[in-house]
Amino acid sequence: MSIRLEHIEKHFGRSQALSPTDLDIANGELIGLLGPSGSGKTTLLRIIAGLETPDANPRTRILFGERDVTRVHVRDRRIGFVFQHYALFRHMSVFDNVAFGLTVLPRRERPSSGEIRTRVLRLLEMVQLSHLANRYPAQLSGGQQQRVSLARALALKPEVLLLDEPFGALDAKVRQELRRWLRHLHDELGFTSVFVTHDQEEALELSDRVVVMSNGRIEQIDTPEALYRSPANRFVFEFLGDVNLLEGEVRDGVLTCGDAQLKADLPEGRQELLLRPHEIELATTPDESSHLPATVTAVVPVGAEVRVELSADWMNEPWLASVRHEQASQLTLARGSRVYARALTWHHYPAPSASVQPSLAASY
């Protein structure tokens, strides 16, 4: 089921939660709405669900396929909704929680008790909880409760599945496992899904496309790879991961900030450059393009890489560099080590909120 949103706008009193917004979601897509608190992502999701009503405007339309649902009540939109805090009935077993939506359907739409049982058991098997059908929510872990919540949403065979911060209340390891599981389930069943998150890793790992939002408007819509490699503006660049800032005066093609110097083909005057941790190389000596002296303040092994925190008088805030374990050993990195950072790539945006491509990115 495809979804089309046309000129969706929302005010709460005098506060504008959503600027006029258009969005097309293809049939079978898994879309992530990503942004900080107050960006409008949850408001947009609730409008799709029918839990919120957009501002009255003749141009406003919400289409599920060819069906206009702009003024259709939430109960008639055939959507499944998964909440962050599960919203399970504590007095009901796992089986009864999943079956609940089916048992309260109008008589003419309600499956027989045998059909309900068959569908519920199949769903519980799909979410790997068939052995817990008779347990109650309080007897389950957070990850298990969220899977029950998802099975309940799928029981009614919704045309659209909406998820509001579905893994926000879970610990990191369980979140990662459930992300992989949901992606597999989505690919297997082929339903259209929209989920809200403020977790960049979650959005980039799960989504076919990511919608990055800020201050009630869409900043960029793209695939995870394209989004990370080509941010549309500085907000998107900074929101999608750790960023190191180098600010200084450019004279004769060299940016200078205290003891730091970096060759940069930029207009004369005050400029800011942005670098991601993996775009920095560490060495014991400077090179002809970068003279960025720093002191190591922390060395933290993280999976296949080592995260190195750097400090220097010319930095407004500590920098982060990501290096290979082999390189960290060769440099004998430890707290207090003196090193030189080398900029492999840097990014320059003309203004913090300008919705344009980077005016310049250089590699050395």
Q: What's the pLDDT at 351?
A: 55
What's the 3-state SS for the chain?
Answer: CCEEEEEEEEEECCEEEEEEEEEEECCCCEEEEECCCCCCHHHHHHHHHCCCCCCCCCCCEEEECCEECCCCCHHHCCEEEECCCCCCCCCCCHHHHHHHHHHCCCCCCCCCHHHHHHHHHHHHHHCCCHHHCCCCHHHCCHHHHHHHHHHHHHHCCCCEEEEECCCCCCCHHHHHHHHHHHHHHHHHHCCEEEEEECCHHHHHHHCCEEEEEECCEEEEEECHHHHHHCCCCHHHHHHCCCCEEEEEEEECCEEEECCEEEECCCCCEEEEEEECHHHEEEECCCCCCEEEEEEEEEEEEECCEEEEEEECCCCCCCEEEEEEHHHHHHCCCCCCCEEEEEECEEEECCCCCCCCCCCEEEEC
Residues 6+ apart with CB under 8 A from 246: 255, 257, 260, 262, 272, 273, 274, 275, 292, 343, 346
Show the CA angle centred on residue 89, arms to residues 84 and 95, nearest 5°: 105
Determine the average pLDDT of the residues in 273-278: 94
> Which phi-psi region, left, alpha or beta, contains residue 336 (left: φ > 0; alpha: ψ -120 to 50)?
left
Q: What is the pLDDT of residues 42-81, one digit of tens each?
A: 999 999 999 999 999 999 999 999 999 999 999 888 898 9
Give buried/exposed letters for 82-121 (b at 16+ CB in 10 A, else e): bbbebebeeeebbbbbbbebbeeeeeeeeeeeeebeebbe
Q: Say how far apart CA 205 and CA 324 lie, in whole Å.
A: 22
Residues forming beta bridges with residue 362, ordered by sequence position: 346
Q: Say how far apart CA 207 and CA 183 lie, in whole Å.
A: 8
CATH class for the region spanning 242-363: mainly beta
> Which phi-psi region, left, alpha or beta, contains residue 36 (left: φ > 0; alpha: ψ -120 to 50)?
beta
pLDDT band at 2 (very low <50, low <70, confident <90, very high): very high
Exposed/middle/buried for 231, CB within 10 Å: 0-12, 13-18, 19+?
buried
Q: What's the pLDDT at 360?
A: 42
Q: What's the pLDDT at 354?
A: 40
Q: Say how far apart CA 98 and CA 259 lie, in whole Å.
A: 64
Residues forming beta bridges with residue 221, ordered by sequence position: 211
Q: What is the pTM of this model?
A: 0.82
Q: Say how far apart CA 195 and CA 187 lie, in whole Å.
A: 15
Q: What's the pLDDT at 177?
A: 82
Residues forming beta bridges with residue 194, ordered by sequence position: 31, 162
Instruction: Identify the CA nearest to 164 among candidates 256, 3, 10, 48.
Output: 48
Give yes or no for a contact between 189 and 123, defined as CB atoms under 8 angstroms apart. no
* pLDDT score of 276 more than 90: yes
Domain-wise residue ranges, the chain: 3-231, 242-363
Give yes or no for a contact between 261 and 314, defined as CB atoms under 8 angstroms apart. no
* pLDDT score of 359 more than 70: no
pLDDT band at 97 (very low <50, low <70, confident <90, very high): very high
Question: What's the N-to-C CA distance of the chain in angstroms?
Answer: 47
- Architecture of the domain whose range is 3-231: 3-Layer(aba) Sandwich (3.40)
pLDDT band at 356 (very low <50, low <70, confident <90, very high): very low
Q: Say how far apart CA 82 and CA 185 lie, in whole Å.
A: 15
